[in-house]
Amino acid sequence: MSRVRLCSNSTTRAKLLEKAGIEFIQTGVDFDEDSIKAKTPKEFVYKATLGKYKEAKKKFGLDIPILVADTVVTSQGKILRKAKDETDAREILNLQSGSVTSIITCTILEKKNMFFLDISSTDYLFSEFDKDDLENFIKSSEWRGKAGACMVEGFCKPYIKEVRGLESNAMGLPVEKIVAFL
């Protein structure tokens, strides 16, 4: 299996690659997601990933295969970005409480003579969040920097009633799908 350049600062994506036994170099790229105009969550995540991919390819080339991913969280038709503060986190998490939350990840892997693009969704049906648990989670600040303020491997885990899709996808990188291409 060849080494890959993970063009992301995400520690979770790095851990997923480590767990899969994939050798990698991690170097993030700058891309202004706030400039994206999109009508749907899938369009948004595709444009964000494509923008990061173009920056990565320009900056690093393809001497080492490049791997770029972006994730968006959506519930009740709304794109749930990273919460700005506790009030925003509370609103975002209350939208997900007792409803379906979809975590959509777009992945691009390119090496010489091969280009792979995938958009996958993992859907979670959550039971209602306990109000005290929710407040404790918000006070913990663990939601900071997380799309949708959601941690399916953390706070949200005991509230999962049903899952459709790959957990790795929900964590930001569907590793099972890219292994074959490395």
Phi-psi group of 87: left, alpha or beta (phi > 0 → left; psi -120 to 50 → alpha; rest → beta): alpha
Q: Is 132 a catalytic residue?
A: no
Which sign, positive or negative, has the C-alpha torsion 49, 100, 143, 173?
A: negative
What's the rounded Cα separation, in Å, for the pair 23 and 135?
39
Closest of 22, 19, 123 to residue 67, by C-alpha:
22
75 by DSSP, 3-state: which? Answer: strand
Pick the catalytic residue from 30, 63, 70, 130.
70
DSSP of 157-172, one letter per residue? GGGEEEEES-HHHHTT
Q: State the catalytic residues.
A: 70
